[in-house]
Amino acid sequence: MDARRLAACCAGYMAWAMPLWLFTLVDAGWFGAGVYGLAGSLALGMALLLLVAGLLAVSASAAVDALVMIVGGAFFATLHWAVALPAAGTGGAMGFLTWFHGVWSAAFAVLWLAARRGPLLRTYFLLALSVALASITVGGAVGTFVLVRVGGYIGLFAALLAFAHAARCGWKLGGEGIAA
């Protein structure tokens, strides 16, 4: 496998895992919504890293990884603003975040369909991410916060899958004897 593809995979999925873990800690109930500001700041930086990793994946002809990373960059950039704007007092935050999670759940389901013949960790990551966002959406829409908690834990599992996929790519990158 090409070193550019492995580097994009390693950096991109690590950039996916970190803010996803932090945001879903809130949904899982480990922290209150007050940490959204910190996670939102990290998400904006990770969105930029995902965009760069996606462009690197494009240059390595890794189309599905490029899509996952560029769409992930858009997700985290818009999540940053979705969290920042309600905090600024724009109102209607919960209804908007419910729709936000639902629309992105559908987008990641489409990406899962595109990625289902690739590496299993990537496939399971996208499936878990889509299911987590769907659970958070349904929980927020009907006011059943048990579903939001379940979605949070599925999101934590998705973040672990992203970490594992990044580690797999990093291991292969190091195993190819490529100097840093």
- Evaluate if residue 130 carries a pLDDT over 90: yes
Distance of CA 78 to the CA centre of its chain: 12
Nearest-angstrom CA–CA distance, 137 and 95: 10
Which token pair is 56?
A: 């690197």
The pTM is what? 0.86
Domain contains 178: no
Distance of CA 71 to the CA centre of its chain: 9
Mean pLDDT score, 115-129:
91
pLDDT score recorded for residue 180 = 44
Range of the domain at 163: 3-172
**Structural domains in the chain (count):** 1
Domain contains 179: no
Domain contains 11: yes
Whether 16 and 54 have beta carbons less than 8 Å apart is answered as no
